[in-house]
Structure 1
Amino acid sequence: MDVDSKTSPPASVKVSDDVASTRVYNSEVDTSAVDERKLLWKLDLALIPWLSFLYLLSFLDRTSIGNAKLYNLEADLHMTDNQYLIALTVFFFSYAIFEVPSNVFLKRLRPSVWLSLLMLLWGVMMTVQGLVHNFGGLVGMRWMLGTFEAGLFPGVNYYLSCWYKRSEFGIRAAIFFSAATVSGAFGGLLAAAISDMDGIGGKPAWAWIFILEGLATVLAGAASFFIIQDFPDTAKFLTEAERTFVIRRLQSDDQFSAAGENLKWKYIWKSLLDWKTWIGMIVYMGADMPLYAFSLFLPTIINQLGFRATPANLLTVPVYFFACCITCLVGFLADRYGHRGYFNIGFLCIGCAGYIILVASRNAALSYFAVYMATCGIYPVIPNTVAWVSNNVEGSYKRSVSLAMVISFGNINGAVSSNVYRAKDKPWYRLGHGLVLMYIVIGIIASTTYHFALRAENARRDRGERDEVIGESGDPDLDARNEKNGRFDSIKEAKTEKGDEWSGYRYIL
């Protein structure tokens, strides 16, 4: 992994200061009996399956409108194609606006309460979406759906980063995100099955898709109050020794704030002013706009290649199954070997090739094959980018805001994806494919920039250019040189105050 193994203090730091400044979390608690492998397995079983299920429902609820469109949604609500695109677009504005404040609330409140409440409310909005009678009602429900769904994805990614080491987070983020691919496959199957309810209770098939999926979300939200765990230091399913062990292993992984951190506005400002946040936003945008374009319009694209509504929905299933497999594989390999930037660049290039084929192809079979290539530049890149950004931000509040900003900026570009697959461009949708291709190229450029910028910063730290003055080093010349990087009484204070800007912190490439 591209993380410097350097553990010795900077030249201006005395080793005695380092030892004196390090205080073991819950020093009175004996953790010698804790089996780390069994504990990780216990964490995985308690956290990952349910959270993945919640994200499956989340992605299913936001994208099922693409399946519902095939069952006369536009005709029944007397909508034009442009109005349908507007209904898709408004979701992304509210979704992006509320992500950052939601992550701050998540840190301030209990995850078991905040995430569950959000889910319960968006389930209600989803259900009501099936009861609307016109374009205005649909737009209103899409806005509210985006408002309440906003907190889940950035919230859960931040929440998981509070439990696992940096080298363990990627595969968990990938498994969690793979629920989006499963929802794509499941959404097609579910829509095809629910379509048989057309006319029951006087409701058309598209309405039943919204109603039944919304009610399932309401039930899951209610159950989540009892299933979702809180942060490691208060988790009820762990013993005191296990809680202590989790915190200590995170602190050994340079997550200094794992034991808790008080909210200070300077932590949020640090995130806003951090160059890594802004480049990360561009990297994520390069895959997130294609994600929504792909998931919202895949059934329509396949439908326009010559397949009717139900076969088109069913043909999305193997595409999403492949996406799920490749996402989990990349998450595992990136955790094991590091080099997240190389994985991003490589798979974005494969996706780029897929969309070049989609732009140029006039053959249905070739276009369907290219769809599989396109998934490689979208689905594995999303969780890999989230893990990459999270791995390189220290400070719990700073990380929560940085992740929310990155994901929020990517999601606002979902508003673009909602408007690029126009009915007048069917069946080949050259404009839509071309714009998605442009975003993927931007992702390649941004990933390359991020990788080399992190490498350069690590090199500066190796050369001692970021060393701080710790206490009284006794070397006036060295103190004068390092004064610009800050003076601190102890290394603990330097870590707490500077987070990932501390000279001993090394970025993952």
Structure 2
Amino acid sequence: MGEKTPDTSGITATKGDETPSMVATTHVSEVPIFDQKATKKLLRKLDWHLIPFMSLIYLLCFLDRTNIGNARLDNLEQDLRLKGLQYNDCLATLFPFYIAAEIPSNMMMKRLRPSVWLTFIMVAWSACMIGQGFVKDYSGLMATRVFLGVFEGGLFPGVNYYGEYYHRYCVITQWYCRHECGFRMALFFSAATLAGAFGGILARGIAEMSGVGGLSAWSWIFILEGLLSILVSFTAYWAIYDYPSTATFLTAKERDEVERRLAVDHGHLSNDFDLKYVWQALGDWKIYVFMLICMAGFAPIYSFSLFLPTIIKGMGYSANNAQLMSVPPYVFACVFTIGASWFADRIRQRGVFLLGFQLVAILGFALLAASGNSTVQYTGTVFAAIGIYPQIPLGLAWNGANIGGSLKRGTGIAMQVMGGNCGGIIASYVYLTRDGPRYVTGHSILIGFVGMAFFLTLFMTIWCRRENARRDAVAQQLGTQEPTGEQKMLKRELADNVPWFRYTI
């Protein structure tokens, strides 16, 4: 990985996440302003100012979206007189609105600024969560879940857009280079695992409030966690930095270096804001494969998040103990999610890590499905959590690194996220009450989804290796004659089909 390779255009090429040594924006110097030590210090500065608060917001978002699984153990269904599949319907109704809100939300964030729009949607979904604590029947719960989906739908793609946003004609800037994004994405997404852990602990404590103010414990879960989110949202406007060019924590030299590094990272691939790059993404078969891989990853994650307390209770634990026993699997998942992406960034490979975790996930769900022993089943939940959660940041980073050109990459990532969240609709109906307490059918369905992801991942890994080898061979045959500036401008519109682009494997 990373060795230099000649190509048909005469531009020095690199493999994996590395990018060409020449840049399309000639007004930006290729000479580093900072040395390696100063660059590491700059990245740490970006990390400390960007990652913690954005991760906290996502933790609260995921907690508010999935805490209904904890509330279910405190008589939610009985109090609201839910029957048949009505509970599952309440889970599923969030996701179509969540998906539909993603693109309009990004458009609003571009118009208003990230700090303004993200603060607004956070206040809005927090209010929905508080309102969910006061619902009296199935219709009320359905309505609050709809609005929760509308407002939460803008966060995850919004944070990706926050990292890569567009002016009318060019990318103004980003925060990180491509090969640095995987680890940061994992830090951000690990908040989903922490949400599961905190959700169990908080639900266990809040269970003691049953009857306070005439409300059940499940009502207090929604109300108190909604109040926590709304308190944090009041600080979001000042804690979210819009763009590097306006970030007060960066010096002028640091801002210049961030822009220089990202300009070099873009290489000779187009940064123009032109709808033809959107159509390129929509017509790229590889992105659709990654959408399926992402959907097959999100389906078990949402199933796990929404039903883990119920699954553990079915092993013979009391409701309160089931809340606490749901914590350890998420802790293990958090460690492996961060660790795997750190190693993947170091060696600049993604597919092999995905394949490994997919096998671990299959093992976990197989233990759950095959054994009636509570110890074996609980061990299965740990392996399942370790296997499913790292797949999302690894898959997003892999897809993003393999799409050339900023607008095509942004569109491709949005497509992948939207496809992935379709897995939430599926997840809502994986574990049905009639299949309890073992839920063998549900576990088997998830084995099927993860198995599909495994074979698609294997296919893409092999394809990327062979395509890189083919481009290397063509480059060696044609030599390294330096192309003219006009030739470079023409070829840059081909996005990742330019001869010097190499896919991450």
2:503 matches 1:507: yes
**Following the alignment from structure 2 to structure 1, what is the Cα–Cα distance between the partners of residues 430 and 22?**
58
**Does structure 1 retain, via aligned residues, the 8 Å contact 2:132–2:141?**
yes
The one-letter code of the counterpart of 1:296 is: L
Q: Give the partner amino acid of 1:324.
A: C
Matches within 5 A, 1:340-489: 340-464=350-474, 489=486
- After superposition, the Cα gap between the structure-2 partners of 1:466 and 1:127, relative to the gap in structure 1 and judged at 3 Å, is farther
Aligned-pair distance for 1:110?
2.1
- Separation of aligned partners in 2, 1:371 and 1:270: 40
2:228 alignment partner AA: A
Kept in 1, the 8 Å contact 2:7–2:475? The answer is no
Q: Which residue of 2 aligns with 1:332?
A: 342
Paired position in structure 2 for 1:88:
91
Could you tell me how far 1:98 is from its partner in structure 2?
A: 2.2
- 1:87-486 paired onto structure 2 within 5 Å: 87-107=90-110, 109-160=112-163, 162-254=174-266, 261=271, 263-464=273-474
Deviation of 1:149 (Å): 0.9
CA distance in 1, matches of 2:229, 2:57: 8
Does the C-alpha gap of structure 1 residues 11 and 400 become closer, same or farther in structure 2, counting only changes over 3 Å?
closer
CA positional deviation for 1:386 = 1.0
Asked whether the 8 Å contact 1:104–1:401 carries over to 2, the reply is no
Q: Which moved more, 1:22-31 or 1:36-45?
A: 22-31
CA shift, 1:9, in A, is: 5.7
More deviation, 159-168/298-307 = 159-168
When residues 393 and 28 of structure 1 are mapped into structure 2, their CA distance, relative to the original with a 3 A threshold, is closer
Structure 2: gaps spanning 5 or more residues: 14-20, 165-173
Q: Which moved more, 1:357-366 or 1:245-254?
A: 245-254
2:67 partner letter: S
What is the deviation of 1:197? Answer: 1.7
How far did 1:231 drift?
2.7
Conserved 8 A contact 1:29-1:244: no
After superposition, the Cα gap between the structure-2 partners of 1:463 and 1:472, relative to the gap in structure 1 and judged at 3 Å, is closer
**C-alpha deviations, 1:478-499, integer Å up to 9, x for none?**
xxxxxxxxx971525533x233
Under a length normalisation based on structure 2, what TM-score does the superposition of the two structures give?
0.90
1:22 Cα offset (Å) = 5.7
Higher deviation after alignment, 390-399 or 38-47: 390-399
Q: Work out the CA distance in 2 between the residues paired with 1:332 and 1:427.
A: 37
Aligned to 2:171: none
CA RMSD, 1 decimal: 2.9
Task: Give the Cα–Cα distance (whole angstroms) in 1 for the partners of residues 191 and 279 of structure 2.
Answer: 33
Taking the aligned partners of 1:54 and 1:295, their CA distance within structure 2 comes to 17
Moved more, 66-75 or 103-112: 103-112
The CA distance in 2 between the partners of 1:298 and 1:117, in whole Å, is: 31
Describe the shift of the 1:78–1:5 C-alpha distance in structure 2 as closer, same or farther (beyond 3 A).
same
Q: Distance in 2 between matches of 1:91 and 1:147?
A: 8
Moved more, 309-318 or 449-458: 449-458
Please report the TM-score for the alignment, with normalisation by the length of structure 1: 0.89
Inter-partner Cα distance in structure 1 for 2:443 and 2:234: 40
Residues 29 and 336 (structure 1), Cα distance of their counterparts in 2 relative to 1, 3 Å cut: closer
**Cα distance change of structure 1 residues 301 and 21 upon mapping to structure 2, 3 Å threshold:** closer
Instruction: Give % identity.
Output: 42
Alpha-carbon contact 2:357-2:391 (below 8 Å) kept: yes
Distance in 2, matches of 1:222 and 1:137, equals 27
CA distance in structure 2 between the partners assigned to 1:109 and 1:457 by the alignment: 41
- CA shift, 1:355, in A, is 1.2
- The equivalent position to 1:494 in structure 2, one of 491, 494, 500, is 491
Q: Is the 8 A contact 1:11 1:464 kept in 2?
A: no
User: Residue type matched to 2:206 in 1?
Assistant: I
**Matching residue of 2:47:** 44
Question: One-letter code of the match for 2:403?
Answer: V
Structure 1, unaligned stretches of length 5 or more?
Answer: 474-486
